[in-house]
Amino acid sequence: MYFAFEADLRFVTDAYLYTTESQDRVVRFAKSARKAIEALQIAIPATAEIYLLPYDDEECGYYIVDHATHIVSWLEAVDLDQLCIPDVVSDSHLRKC
């Protein structure tokens, strides 16, 4: 089951949002992501969404996927080995925002 929040930025998560604690955590991470995007002055296309995966109270995994261009991106450089993603055929579909 996925949950989505659509505003000027679209956030998606499969975190269990039926508890206040989980909801608060996801909202906190979404606000942090929004602040980072604004600080970096990055334009997120309307065809993109930000997937959030909270690990615990302090850390949250994420990626930004643009469905129109089929590009996955992050706000900072990411090592694919750390993400457990196998070698990709084309680096053109992975990038830093």
> pLDDT class for 83, splitting at 50, 70, 90?
low
Q: Which two tokens stand for residue 35?
A: 């602040």
Positive or negative: CA dihedral 61, 92, 5, 42: positive
pLDDT of the residue at 5: 79
Average pLDDT, the chain: 85
Over range 71-87, report the average pLDDT. Answer: 76
Q: Which is more confidently placed, 89 or 55?
A: 55
pTM for the full predicted model: 0.80
pLDDT tens readout for residues 12-59: 999 989 999 999 999 999 999 999 999 999 999 999 999 999 987 788
Tell me the C-alpha to C-alpha distance, in Å, between residue 80 and each of 29, 73, 77, 86, 92. Answer: 22, 12, 10, 7, 14
Closest among 97, 11, 93 to 51, alpha carbons compared: 11
